[in-house]
Structure 1
Amino acid sequence: MIFPKITELELPKQDSNVIKDLGKTFLYDFKKREFILKDGKPIEAVGKKDIEIWIEKVLRTQKNRWKIYDEVDYGTTIEDLIVGHSYPKSFLESELKREITQEVLKHPRIESLTNWDFIRVNDKLRVIFTVNLYDGDFIKQEVSF
């Protein structure tokens, strides 16, 4: 017999790090710290805006701080890197890239992050990067801490 006998079909394993059900995302003004409303109701974010807001929310959520996220691996430890520390610039940038990439790539539509830029102005840090989507599109993302 030329062909091996196959007794069961092996399916590719799903990546357990990818978040499957992201739910709805609503437009949010992070500077004012409030939802954007129309006729008193929050407006659902769609398309790339949905991804932008999801990224900002996950990066601004401190991991292990809120009970609502106890059952899921959501958020970052970016605050621990920035607040009260003066790490060398190369170490801080490397760790921020690692942490941000690790968390953002959990979104099922995001393929990679590129074109990093870190700008420190006084006590604020702006992190700018390109979010490359699986469909070939991209988003220029900026988050300030």
Structure 2
Amino acid sequence: MSSRDDVEVARELYAGFAARDMAAVGALLHPEVRVEQAGGLPWSGTYTGPTGVQAFLGALLAHVDSRVEIGELFAVGDAVVQVGRTRGTARATGRSFDAAEVHVLRVRGGSIASFEAFVDEAEFARALS
């Protein structure tokens, strides 16, 4: 698959997230998918397999109601990089947040094999506390 196709797979993943269409998201996941959220947030950690992705999304959405706004989405080597913002509200506090973020995705055989998220932890911590 070409890098251009990998970018389209990533776009489909973000469209599924935006629509909260977990069936569409699940259809794009490699059976051995790995999700990593850096930092000390309540949903930080490493999650593996489709059930791990469900656990990650469950933990994330238990704490925040958010949406990703893509600034740039491009291929770099064997990765697809998304640079943008995550905006939303912390559920427990009602505080809004606007966090810079970078996601690094790897696509294998037309499926998302890994997803690494790097976010402005201080902005999330402010909203969560």
TM-score of the alignment, normalized to the shorter chain, above 0.5: no
Where on the TM-score scale, by shorter chain, does this alignment land: which range?
A: 0.3 to 0.5
**Which structure dedicates a bigger proportion of its chain to strand?**
2
TM-score, structure 2 as length reference: 0.35
TM-score, structure 1 as length reference: 0.32
**Which structure dedicates a bigger proportion of its chain to helix?**
2
Which one has the largest radius of gyration? 1
Whose relative contact order is higher, 1 or 2, with alpha carbons under 8 Å and at least 6 apart?
2
